[in-house]
Every structure is written in C-alpha cells, then in structure tokens.
Amino acid sequence: MTKEEWKKVENRLSYPFSYVKLKIDGYNVTVDVLQDRPLHYILAVFINGEFKPKWCCEDCEERRRFCCKHKKSLLTAQQRKQLKRERKAVREEVEKQLTVYTYYPFWNSFRSMKAHFIKNNTSIELIELAKERGV
C-alpha cells in the first residue's frame, strides 16, 4: 500500500463504527472501529469475516500475523527490585519464567497495528473503505 492509501485508512478508522477491508497475503481482513467502553474505541480485526478465540490461545498463522501481543510480568514491583541484585543470567531466567504473553484480536493504536501488519505480512492491499455517513 502507498502512503496515501495508509493515510486514507487511518482517516477512515478515526470515526466510530467505521471499517476498512484489506487483502493481506490472501486473507480478507476487516478492521472495525468498535466501542470498548464509553468514549473509548478499539480497532477489532476480523479474518475472512470472523474471529476464532482459539487463534488467541494457540500458536497459528492468524495470531502471528494479526493479533496484538501483550507482555505481563507476574513479579511485583518489590520482587523486581530485589531481583536487580542478582546476577544477570539468574535475573533473565527468572524474568523469562515469570512472564506471560497474551494475544488480543483488537488494537488500541492504529500506528502499532499498521507497523505489526507491515512487519508480519508481505502483501497488503486496500479493498474498501466504509462509506461516508451523511450528517
């Protein structure tokens, strides 16, 4: 996609309840702007018209290509502070074992979604923008 097309997509996704349709490496991807809570919107990703919860639980192509990855440490702030005193090898091993990654079918930021799509896919085409709503 060109910079102008990305700009059109970003502008369209700045409106509540709008959407864009993309063709990404053979997948038909729809990105909808949905309300998460009052005055807070997210970018929900649907692949071939659906999203299966198993894609967030199992390692698969859809998860790697389209899902938002979040990192969460199981250590408290106090435990992390104590861990800084340990050797680097021990510290890294403990952090690795006590870190959980979760995947979500939605994005809070257009820029991070775009960067992830570009990094993890080779071909991205704009298929359709949502129609303008008359005021």
Q: DSSP string covering 23-48, please?
A: EETTEEEEEEEEEEETTEEEEEEEET
Looking at the structure, tell me whether residues 121 and 97 fall in a common domain.
Answer: no
The pLDDT, as a whole number, for residue 131 is 67
Residues 6+ apart with CB under 8 A from 103: 55, 56, 63, 67, 68, 69, 70
Looking at the structure, tell me whether residues 75 and 56 fall in a common domain.
Answer: no
The pLDDT, as a whole number, for residue 29 is 95
Looking at the structure, tell me whether residues 59 and 85 fall in a common domain.
Answer: no
Helices (H) and strands (E) in the chain, counts: 6, 7
The pLDDT, as a whole number, for residue 133 is 52
Please write the tens of the pLDDT for every residue from 84-131: 898 999 999 999 999 999 999 999 999 999 999 999 999 999 998 876
Tally of domains within the chain: 2
Looking at the structure, tell me whether residues 25 and 57 fall in a common domain.
Answer: yes
Please write the tens of the pLDDT for every residue from 13-50: 998 899 999 999 999 999 999 999 998 999 999 999 99
Cα-to-chain-centroid distance, residue 100:
17
Q: Token match 């998860």: residue?
A: 63
73 is in which domain, residue-wise? Answer: 69-103
pTM listed for this prediction: 0.82
Looking at the structure, tell me whether residues 120 and 90 fall in a common domain.
Answer: no
Q: Is the pLDDT of residue 135 over 50?
A: no
Are the CB atoms for 45 and 29 separated by under 8 Å? yes
CA distance 1 to 107: 20
Looking at the structure, tell me whether residues 120 and 92 fall in a common domain.
Answer: no
The pLDDT, as a whole number, for residue 124 is 93
Q: Is the pLDDT of residue 56 over 90?
A: no
Percent of the chain with pLDDT over 90: 77
Looking at the structure, tell me whether residues 57 and 81 fall in a common domain.
Answer: no
Characterize the bridge pairing of strands 40-47 and 124-129.
Answer: unpaired
Looking at the structure, tell me whether residues 99 and 76 fall in a common domain.
Answer: yes
Looking at the structure, tell me whether residues 1 and 12 fall in a common domain.
Answer: yes
Looking at the structure, tell me whether residues 25 and 74 fall in a common domain.
Answer: no
Average of per-residue pLDDT values in the chain: 91
